[in-house]
Chains A and B, each alone.
Chain A
Amino acid sequence: MNVTIVDYKSGNISSVINSFKEVAKDKVTIEVTSDLNKIKSSDKVVLPGQGSFKSCVDSLNKIKGLRDTLNEFALTNKKPLLGICVGLQMFANVGYEETETKGLGWISGKVSKIDNQNGKFKLPHIGWNQINIVKDSKIFKDIENNSHMYFVHSYEFVPNDKKVISATTDYSSNIVCSVEKENIFGTQFHPEKSDRIGLKMIDNFINL
């Protein structure tokens, strides 16, 4: 089996690569590439993302054919895909960071700034927060409810259909921190930086 981490110059992805390689050991091949053919032929895809919604979408669009290839992978072929942080946010129709930007539109919804309640809550939301698992998700196999995960973000994904939400976290309000829609998975937190529990989640995704 091979898992491809999409390298579309979306910022720092070395931690994502390190964590997947740590979990995969020699059982699974981890590719890091933007090569369309390699993405097409892989069994699973990881879509990381750092920086702003707009900068990630722009970088994605810069690679000719990448958007179509990802659409085909996730929507037509329905193969497992995991979006991390802005990678998850890009599932939305639209994001409002910097300026209004169209997302991939895989899960209907928007990405908007976390309400800091007039400065009561600091942004970015940085650090370890507990996740409230609201739906049985395969990526949470053997992960206890209220486990701590590492977050760093100022924007949140607000899906229209609440049924896609698999976990939330409490910061100013109930922030969506994990989604699952058929073969499409996403986490707002960083499993690659969330210690053993994060690695377990990565293991769950690899073993889907």
Chain B
Amino acid sequence: MLKNRIIPCLDVKNGRVVKGINFVDLKDAGDPVEQAKIYSDGGADEICFLDITASNENRDTIYDVVEKTSKKCFVPLTVGGGVRTVEDINKLLNCGADKVSINTAAVENSKVVVDSSKKFGSQCIVVAIDAKKNGDKWEVFTHGGRNNSGIDALEYAEQMEKNGAGELLVTSMDRDGTQVGYDIDLMSKISSKVNIPVIASGGVGNLDHLVDGIKLGKANAVLAASIFHYGKHSVKEAKDYLDSKGIPVRI
């Protein structure tokens, strides 16, 4: 039976982890490679890096991080943030990323998704959708949540599947950082709409939220950042909890 995945996400800026696990035995708390290794050793099903480097001159730092991580972690590695072109994707894959997530570029130029999924295969193309509720629908935001594209998130999800996305990483802008739980309504609507796997993101504050994301939100995988930071919960604890709630996970 296919298991539901737990994916810890690390925000990386200028090659350093912004918020990370604060373990006493950690030599360098800001080192993304070391943090990723802790997650993979702890049973993470995948690792996600979100590059939030703002300035262009430091953008290359992520390549070095990916290259070093992929030599130490032998679970899938997804990298997103600032991915604009097919060449950006090519470079990340060559450095050892297994999947690349595309956000703004997919909205602005859907050809990037079409071309990259043809070139590298759908299996490594994740389209990240940042959605915010407006009335009775959700709209897709770009540029790290700053710009409203006005595009309907459900229609967009369907279109991205057609364009060749292998997975959708759906983040609720309303919930992100709030720790009150995923936007279940959004997750379940998108998950029912498409035939590709959906990764739920944004709003996790406790382990029950992970359970809800899968059971109610119908997500195939759950991504979380802050509950794994500062050692609040380990990936192992999260998996044991999901298992105790009858959710199939890899233990």
Using Cβ atoms and an 8 Å threshold, which residues of chain B touch A52? 121
A62 at the interface (CB under 8 A from B): no
Using Cβ atoms and an 8 Å threshold, which residues of chain B touch A11? 93, 120-121, 124
A112 at the interface (CB under 8 A from B): no
Chain B: interface residue count, which band? Answer: 20 to 34
Using Cβ atoms and an 8 Å threshold, which residues of chain B touch A195? 40, 74-75
A130 at the interface (CB under 8 A from B): yes
- Count residues of A near B (Cβ-Cβ below 8 Å): 38
Overall SS of chain A's interface: mixed
| B80-88, B94-102, B130-138, B178-186 - the one binding chain A | B94-102
Bound CA span A19–B45, Å? 17
Using Cβ atoms and an 8 Å threshold, which residues of chain A touch B98? 12, 15, 193
Per-residue B-contact encoding for A103-123, CB less than 8 Å = 1, 0 else: 000000000000010010011
Per-residue B-contact encoding for A1-40, CB less than 8 Å = 1, 0 else: 0000000000110110011011000000000000000000
B226 at the interface (CB under 8 A from A): no
Per-residue A-contact encoding for B65-82, CB less than 8 Å = 1, 0 else: 000001100111000000
Closest to A10 in B: B121
Using Cβ atoms and an 8 Å threshold, which residues of chain B touch A12? 93-94, 97-98, 120, 124
Judge whether B3 and A126 touch: CB under 8 Å: no
Within 8 A of A (CB), among B131-153: none
Judge whether B75 and A193 touch: CB under 8 Å: yes
Judge whether B2 and A125 touch: CB under 8 Å: yes
B166 touches which of A21, A116, A124, A151 (Cβ 8 Å): A124
B206 at the interface (CB under 8 A from A): no
Given contacts A15-B98, A22-B71, A51-B121, contact A124 B2 (CB under 8 A): no
B220 at the interface (CB under 8 A from A): yes
Judge whether B166 and A50 touch: CB under 8 Å: no
Judge whether A19 and B74 touch: CB under 8 Å: yes
Using Cβ atoms and an 8 Å threshold, which residues of chain B touch A125? 2
Judge whether B122 and A124 touch: CB under 8 Å: yes
B5 at the interface (CB under 8 A from A): yes
* Residues on A facing B (Cβ under 8 Å): 11-12, 14-15, 18-19, 21-22, 50-52, 55, 116, 119, 122-130, 148, 150-154, 170-171, 192-196, 198-199
